[in-house]
Structure 1
Amino acid sequence: MWKTILRRILIMIPELIILSVIVFIISKQLPGDPFTGSISPKTSPEQLHHLMKLNGLYDPWYQQYWNWVVHLFHGDLGTSYEYQEPVSALIASRVVNTFWLALLTMIMTYAIGLPLGLYAGRHEGKLQDTLVRIYSYMTMSVPFFVVLVLGCWIFGYGLNIFPTTGSVSPTANGFFPVLFSRLYHMILPATLGALFATSGITQYLRSGVIDAKNSNYVKTAKAKGVSTKNIYKHHILRNALLPIAAFAGYSITGLLGGSLFTEQIFSYPGMGLLFLNAVNFRDYTVMTALVLLYGFLSLLGTLLSDIALSVIDPRIRVK
């Protein structure tokens, strides 16, 4: 399997190169520039022209791309036009916030979704199953940004239980105060994101459990006198988790990419908010680096999903 993983990683290289070229061309076609209005409203056209020329923005796109690649191989992703700091340092400062929010959201998503799906599938057609399905349909039918806005308004402004902006309180000093403050800021957005994300996991696992418990090998195990607990643990759950494992890699890398809605509504300084600001301010260097990172995460998600499938079901091999 290690040879296959290495081969898949090598295949990512030309895919990322093609992606970087496409992103570079599209970003240069966006109207506007990174300097107009960002320095001073009184900046003269001559000064803007000088800045554009100084930064090579008048060069042909292929020349700009080549210069970007040369700097990339030297470990330089460029300097942000908006924040005036190295792109690598800017992303590194935001990826920490996104990672912790993504980790908490993912833990809560699976902690809620897996028991609900298993519970609904085990009680198919009963009241318990109906209640879980109603919950799933409600979370699927309501737009995500509506859930975020309502949660922010009710628990943030109405009840004033959780903070609605930032990632750490300015008054927090020391390791443990900063840790608790960071966790406190993440609870509300992570909970809302988890509640929204559990619907897919719940429905997939419920369907998997229903299919598995009606299969011949489960009926055979029951006929042999195997306990219900062992049947669900060793036969039903393993096979029902296959659809969940198929999307696990995408879920992990998708969360690491940051949520535009969550980070925008809660003013959470993560990767999603950074990308949105980069598009708004035509920060080409940040845009290109982030899209390339997102592309890598998507390809990595595919590989992780395949590996997870092969771990759960040894009959499946990564090819």
Structure 2
Amino acid sequence: MIQFRVFNAKGKEVKTIDPISVFPYLSQKLSGQNPFGELKEGYRVKAAFNLGKSIRLEKNQYVTDVIANKMAVSMEIGLISLAISLILGVFFGVIQARFKDRLPDHIGTGYTVVVNAVPRLVIYTIIMIAGATFFSLPMRYDATAANPGLTKVLPIICLSIGSTAGYMLWTRRYMVDELNKDYIRLAKLKGLSDRKVMFRHVLKNAFVPLAQYLPYSILLTVGGSLLVEKFFAVPGMGPELTMAISRYDLPLVQGIVLLYATMGILGVFLGDLLMTLIDPRIKLTGKGDVR
């Protein structure tokens, strides 16, 4: 759908024309007709992409406006939790690889196993009760509270837990693989310290596979988390799609699905592009085994 807005000679919006489909608009233009009727002298029309109006869930609101409002909330919480989980996950993954088969590695492995084995709702409930009992943190998200930042703490922690375990697991795996390669043995024989070997060589090469999914993870924060946002009553993108489907709000469903599809395609492309920037040996196009 295309929405048209009419502006006067001073640049002030004077009228908004209801969205019309692209093909009827183009057919009228090609046939020499004016889709807007007669406009006063000096008036001009600007076109804007539009997905129509919500018919049930957010009645009479434009789908683009609904998505923009929900997206802002999900991105704020999602990006903070992603930054926390990336920093902690990579850091503890390096510690696990550095002390492989020792106490720090066993503790990190136990954490990863517990997070992946225990149902998320159980973990979220424990975190919510512990946060409210011992730290007096609010149990529900509330943007109108006296201190709204405190209401975001528990959702951010819950969002970070699973991602942190994932980054720890994969960082350890890739770093252990790199530590067994010949160039690492050669670097150690040349007298390089363990710290230089770990951070200058091992971590740099081990981070390449992780970098492929980093842009996708960042874009995925726009979509929000269904379970966490529903659990803590966060008015984000997470529950919006399921609620729109249950209410048969077709324009809103189409808009959200289109957004998810676009983010998925863009995330994969940006991930491949980031890998080429980190590792010059990787090419987007080429012959043979080159990617």
Q: Same fold (TM over 0.5)?
A: yes
Alpha carbons of 1:276 and 1:161: their partners in 2 closer, same or farther (altered >3 Å)? farther
Q: Where is the helix percentage greater, Structure 1 or Structure 2? A: 1
Residue 80 of structure 1 corresponds to which residue in structure 2? 54
**Residues 1-319 of structure 1 aligned to structure 2 (within 5 Å):** 67=21, 74-81=48-55, 82-84=57-59, 85-156=61-132, 158-159=133-134, 161-170=136-145, 172=146, 181-319=147-285
CA contact (8 A) 2:223 2:237 kept: yes
Q: Is the 8 A contact 2:99 2:105 kept in 1?
A: yes
3-state DSSP of counterpart to 2:195? helix
What 5-or-longer segments of structure 2 have no aligned partner? 1-19, 26-46, 286-291
Deviation at 1:233, TM superposition (A): 1.8
Q: Conserved in 2, the CA contact under 8 Å of 1:246 and 1:306? A: yes
Q: Which amino acid is 1:291 matched to? A: V
Q: Distance in 2 between matches of 1:239 and 1:160?
A: 40
Deviations 1:232-291 (A, max 9, x none): 121101111122112212222222211000111111010112222212211111111001
> Unaligned 5+ residue runs, structure 1?
1-65, 173-180
Give the 3 Å change call, closer, same or farther, for CA 317–142 of structure 1 in structure 2: same
Deviations 1:14-37 (A, max 9, x none): xxxxxxxxxxxxxxxxxxxxxxxx
Question: Partners in 1 of 2:88 and 2:78 — Cα distance?
Answer: 15
Structure with the bigger RCO (C-alpha within 8 Å, sep 6+) is 1
Q: Which residue of 1 aligns with 2:10?
A: none
Amino acid corresponding to residue 231 of structure 1 in structure 2:
V
Q: Read off the aligned partner of 1:77 and give its amino acid letter.
A: L
Number of aligned positions between the proteins: 243
Task: Give TM-score scaled by structure 2 length.
Answer: 0.77
Decide which moves more: 259-268 or 188-197: 188-197
Contact 1:152 1:266 (C-alpha < 8 Å) held by counterparts = no
- Decide whether the 8 Å contact of 1:267 with 1:273 is kept in 2: no
Counterpart CA distance in 1 for 2:213 and 2:148 is: 28
Maintained 8 Å contact 1:68/1:77? no
Contact 2:54–2:62, Cα closer than 8 Å, also in 1? yes
| Equivalent-residue separation in structure 2 for 1:183 and 1:122 (angstroms) | 36
**For the structure 1 residues 244 and 186, does the alpha-carbon distance in structure 2 shift closer, same or farther, using more than 3 Å as the test?**
same
| Identical aligned residues as a percent | 27
1:314 Cα shift?
Answer: 1.2
Larger Rg: 2
**Cα RMSD, aligned residues only:** 2.1
SS of the equivalent of 1:267 reads coil
Task: Give, as a single letter, the amino acid of the residue that structure 1 aligns with 2:79.
Answer: L
Give 3-state SS (helix, strand or coil) of 1:241's partner: helix
How many angstroms apart in 2 are the aligned matches of 1:239 and 1:69?
50
Dislocated runs of 4+, deviation >3 Å: 66-71
Distance in structure 1 (CA, Å) of the matches to 2:24 and 2:227: 34
